[in-house]
Structure 1
Amino acid sequence: MASTITLSVQPRGKPIRKLPKELQIASDASGHELYNALAQQSGCSIHRLRVTKGSDGSLVSNTKTTTVHDTGLRDQSVVYVKDLGPQLGWRTVYIVEYFGPLVIPALFLYVLRPYVYFNFDKPLPQPSDVQALICALLTLHFIKRELETIFVHRFSLATMPARNIVKNSAHYWILAGVNIAYWVFRPDAAAATDNLNPALLYSGLALFVFGELANLNTHLVLRNLRKPGSTERGIPSGFGFGLVTCPNYLFEIVAWLGIYLVTGLSWSVLLFTIVGGAQMASWAAKKERRYRKEFGDKYKRKKFVMLPGIF
């Protein structure tokens, strides 16, 4: 029979008004049950709490598969509890992030065109067919992102600090939304023509379609590695996974290179692709390290994490 232990509970950072000084819990209780008990007694949402061990500062995971005893906590062990502040669901954050670049291109190209480009000679020329096509590609890309967020993605963490939504959204709303829309839809932009170089146009469209479909396939593979309601994942395999750790990032870049070509090599699209690619490269490197640690010899190590032959 599992024993009941008493943990010494101390706040880290700002005080938590109803946080108990001690907590009695079964040694075979899960980490999730520990978080739930602290949430109930403190009156805080379970998602706002972060619990660490007093002995070494390591995180006590909010999981159903690891017991209190497994974490190394014993009778009279000290745990620190931090209030992370107001939280938002990751799904909500992604929906908000992608909404900006979903609607901004069409607004700039049609609704706001006379006001955004007020300093050009009047009357303003109508958007070219190429600009209308680019607007459609951007819209399709972010509609896909929204639908994947709602129906495909499963998140290992339920929430994130609410304050981060401004920072996270700025990347998409400004860099992918305003930045691209303003420069690509200008009356004097390279795309303001119906005679774009056919090599750029058709190769760009081919890369875009391939990248989007391959990216979607990768997301479906990753979704099926995790059971609903679980944070446990299997080893990914399938199209692209033999080349790099994160083929979803690879195919994301392929799709954006396609848009870059269709825009007539717009620097604004290239800037967004480079900045986004740098962030994805960091995530991919971390994921490769996590796979090696989590799966050990069962995992076939990758030489390249995102771009074959490059990184």
Structure 2
Amino acid sequence: MESIILKVAFSPPPSLFLNALSLINLPSFALNGFSESRGQNLQYSKFWHVGNNNNNNGDNNSSNGYNSEKYSKKLGQRKVGSRRGMLICYTPAFLASAALFFVFPHENNLRLLLLNSALALHFFKRIFEVLYVHKYSGNMVLKTAIIISLSYLTSTTTMIYAQHLSQGLAEPQIDLKYIGLFMFLIGITGNFYHHYLLSQLRKKGDEKYKIPKWGLFGQVICPHYLFEIIEFVGFSFISQTLHSFSVALGTMFYLVGRSFATRQWYLSKFEDFPKNVKALIPYIF
């Protein structure tokens, strides 16, 4: 088993912190994904209002109304506007990935350059969507925004740092970096396209959720999550560090749970939701 791993991954870096974090990632992300599937959701997007019976709802890109003032006061949680909350989620990771271009030398390490560039582009795209694509009608729990922000910031900086530490180590026997780059480009394109389709579901002033039908939405209700998983697998293939594989697997576990919860939500809200539409993987799950 160890020999197979070393064929596709660098040896673990000489960092107790990174190695411990890699071991923690999988169970923690898997637990979060399991919690999502059980209805214990992070309060953003449609799940901002979980527990509230008001049926006034918004689109899949953002938090919505759902009598959020009353709900926020009930929980004693401070909220911020959805746009601001999403910027809190993504901006620190983007700034960190941009800053790390100047912290670590990239000239003689193509993997590090590709990984750093892909992560910076990923979060730049996220911020662009927040500012110019997504539509908003409500608020987001500040605590949730901070948790997501810290998660993205930690994953981004540690993946780049692990790649930096891999310099000088023996290259994996199987080179996956160009396959990873291709997967990243497919993932970021598909994710953006389906986020754009979601933004077109609702006209100005319309706060009701609708069942998306274009693109891969005819087969799965969360194609944007599917393409995000492809992105993170792309990151791990570019990097080929054990830590990046850990982050990719952890992200996959979480989004599997999140997509399952999303499908259950649509089933509960729409009597005409097509039963053949899966959660994440066409025809399978």
Distance 1:244 1:63 in 2: 21
List per-residue Cα deviations over 1:15-63 (Å, max 9, x = no partner): xxxxxxxxxxxxxxxxxxxxxxxxxxxxxxxxxxx99xxxxx9644667
More strand by share: 1
Number of residue pairs matched? Answer: 223
Find 2:148's aligned residue among 130, 154, 168.
168
The one of 94, 110, 114 equivalent to 1:133 is: 114
What root-mean-square deviation, in Å, do the aligned CA atoms of Structure 1 and Structure 2 show? 3.2
User: Given that residues 104 and 181 in structure 1 are in contact (C-alpha distance below 8 angstroms), is that contact kept between their aligned partners in structure 2?
Assistant: no
User: Which of these residues, 245, 257, 260, is aligned with residue 285 of structure 1?
Assistant: 260
Contact 1:109–1:185 (8 Å) recurs in 2? no
1:218 to 1:304, Cα distance in 2 relative to 1, 3 A: same
The residue aligned with 2:224 is 248
Larger Rg: 1
CA deviations over 1:108-151 (Å, ceiling 9, x no partner): 3532x4xxxxxxxxxx8955122112211111111001101111
Q: 1:235 aligns with which of 191, 206, 211?
A: 211
Higher relative contact order (CA 8 A, sep 6+): 2
Matches within 5 A, 1:105-124: 105-111=97-103, 113=104
1:307 maps to a residue whose letter is I
Q: Deviations over 1:264-292 (max 9, x none)?
A: x2222222222222222222112212222
Equivalent residue number for residue 8 of structure 1 = none
In 2: Cα distance, 1:189 partner to 1:300 partner: 53
> 89-98 vs 300-309, which deviates more?
300-309
Q: Secondary structure at the match of 1:172?
A: helix
Question: Whole-Å Cα distance in 2 between the matches of residues 104 and 164 of structure 1?
Answer: 20
Shift of the alpha carbon at 1:184?
Answer: 1.4
**Is the Cα–Cα contact under 8 Å of residues 180 and 235 in structure 2 kept in the other structure?**
yes
Task: State the SS of the aligned residue for 1:235.
Answer: coil
Displacement of 1:253: 0.7
**CA distance in structure 1 between the aligned counterparts of 2:199 and 2:52, rounded to whole angstroms:** 29
Matches of 1:134 and 1:58, distance apart in 2: 41
1:90 aligned to which of 78, 82, 101: 82
Q: Does 1:148 align with 2:122?
A: no
In structure 2, what is the Cα distance between the partners aligned to 1:188 and 1:107?
19
Question: Secondary structure of the residue that 1:88 maps to in structure 2?
Answer: strand
Structure 1 residues 210, 244: closer, same or farther in 2, change over 3 A?
A: same
Distance in 1, matches of 2:96 and 2:132, equals 23
Name the residue aligned to 2:10: none
Query: 1:300, CA displacement in angstroms?
Result: 1.6
AA partner of residue 163 (structure 2) = V
Residues 249/60 of structure 1: CA separation in 2 closer, same or farther (3 Å cut)? closer
Q: Contact 2:201 / 2:212 at 8 angstroms: preserved in 1? A: yes
For the 8 Å contact 1:100–1:177, the answer to whether it is kept is no
Residue 285 of structure 2 corresponds to residue 306 of structure 1:
no
Residues 181-211 of structure 1: CA deviation (Å, up to 9, x unaligned): 2101225376x97xx8786232222211111
Conserved? CA contact 1:84–1:161, under 8 Å: no
What SS does structure 1 have at the residue aligned with 2:74? strand
Amino acid at match of 2:109: S
CA distance in 2 between counterparts of 1:201 and 1:275 reads: 20
Q: Give the TM-score of the pair, scaled to structure 2.
A: 0.67
Contact 1:212–1:252 at 8 Å: present in 2 too?
yes
CA distance in 1, matches of 2:122, 2:149: 16
Letter matched to residue 290 of structure 1:
W
Give structure 1 stretches of 5+ with no counterpart.
1-49, 52-56, 65-80, 114-123
CA distance in structure 1 between the partners assigned to 2:187 and 2:97 by the alignment: 20
Aligned residue number for residue 183 of structure 1: 162
Provide the rounded CA distance (Å) in 1 between the counterparts of 2:198 and 2:106. 45
- 1:266 paired with 2:237, answer no
Unaligned runs of 5+ in 2: 1-47, 59-72
* Alpha-carbon contact 2:82-2:140 (below 8 Å) kept: yes
Contact 1:244-1:306 at 8 Å conserved across structures: yes
Deviations 1:157-178 (A, max 9, x none): x22233333322211111x222
